[in-house]
Homo-oligomer: A and B are copies of this chain.
């Protein structure tokens, strides 16, 4: 397995594969890999001859008061997991390789980013779309795989790829949960045992909302309250619990047609997100 640290090296390798008529599947990550990431790697491997995983804790998608410095990193462990999974190359650039001191060009999506994490984390998606555009240019993949845990991110990236004519197919893979239901996330590491237990209120609340939906509940306020009440009862602090249209991520008053019920909540200092698709 290759470890490539510059955009030039990465592109050279990807082009060598393309010249040999091999396709490249790409999984962008911030590292500290878990089973959710590894499911994306399997999706990429099923679709393409070669798999590239990028590991880059992207500073521009963190707000000034967010957890950039604390974000968990363990490259040796990530490297071992990638090797074991048959990844062909890890793209592992330094911050200085990705951003010049006078970097001044951004990719911005201005519609789907107005709600949910776009509203609660100003500037976050601008960092995401910019770094993903750069990574696409470095890796030049046929396929890029994103996880449905970050449902809004996946939709924003699909929109970016369409709007800017990136020659890459965006695949969105299912959310992967711990056995007790907690959505897998590198940030789960921040939780102490008590917080970890209380954080189950998020996935349990979503599961309860799904059951109510299946029994006919369509009112957004009722579905959101189901989730929010459980989180508050467990001592969580809610960033948002929202029902939005899957097409444009605008708030929906009722769960008619394809909608997304999305949550962001804090347990202690740890912000967790989760979601379910309905309809």
Q: Which of B11, B163, B167 is within 8 Å of A105, CB to CB?
A: B163
Instruction: From A112, A140, A163, name the one whose CB has the most chain B CB atoms within 10 angstroms.
Output: A163
Main secondary structure of the interface of A (DSSP, over half): mixed
Interface residues of A in 134-173 (CB under 8 A from B): 134, 137-138, 140, 159-160, 162-167
CA A11 to CA B167, docked complex, whole Å: 9
**Closest B-chain residue to A133, C-beta based?**
B164
A245 at the interface (CB under 8 A from B): no
Asked if residues B134 and A100 are in contact (CB atoms below 8 Å), the reply is no
Interface residues of A in 104-156 (CB under 8 A from B): 104-112, 129-130, 133-134, 137-138, 140
Interface string of A225-252 (1 = CB under 8 A from B): 0000000000000000000000010000
A102 at the interface (CB under 8 A from B): yes
Q: Which of B105, B109, B110, B159 is within 8 Å of A164, CB to CB?
A: B105
Asked if residues B107 and A111 are in contact (CB atoms below 8 Å), the reply is no
A7 at the interface (CB under 8 A from B): yes
Query: Nearest Cβ distance between residue A159 and chain B, in whole angstroms?
Result: 6
Asked if residues A137 and B111 are in contact (CB atoms below 8 Å), the reply is no
Residues of B within 8 A of A162 (CB): 100
Interface residues of A in 1-43 (CB under 8 A from B): 7, 11
Asked if residues B103 and A163 are in contact (CB atoms below 8 Å), the reply is yes
Asked if residues A111 and B102 are in contact (CB atoms below 8 Å), the reply is yes
**Closest B-chain residue to A107, C-beta based?**
B107
Asked if residues B109 and A108 are in contact (CB atoms below 8 Å), the reply is no
**Closest B-chain residue to A98, C-beta based?**
B165
Residues of B within 8 A of A159 (CB): 104-105
CA A103 to CA B167, docked complex, whole Å: 17
Contacts A107-B108, A108-B108 supplied; 16 other A-B pairs, CB < 8 Å: A7-B165, A100-B162, A102-B111, A104-B110, A104-B111, A104-B112, A104-B159, A104-B163, A105-B160, A105-B163, A105-B164, A106-B108, A107-B107, A134-B163, A137-B165, A137-B166
- List the 4 closest A-B pairs by CB distance, nearest first: A104-B111, A105-B163, A137-B165, A105-B160
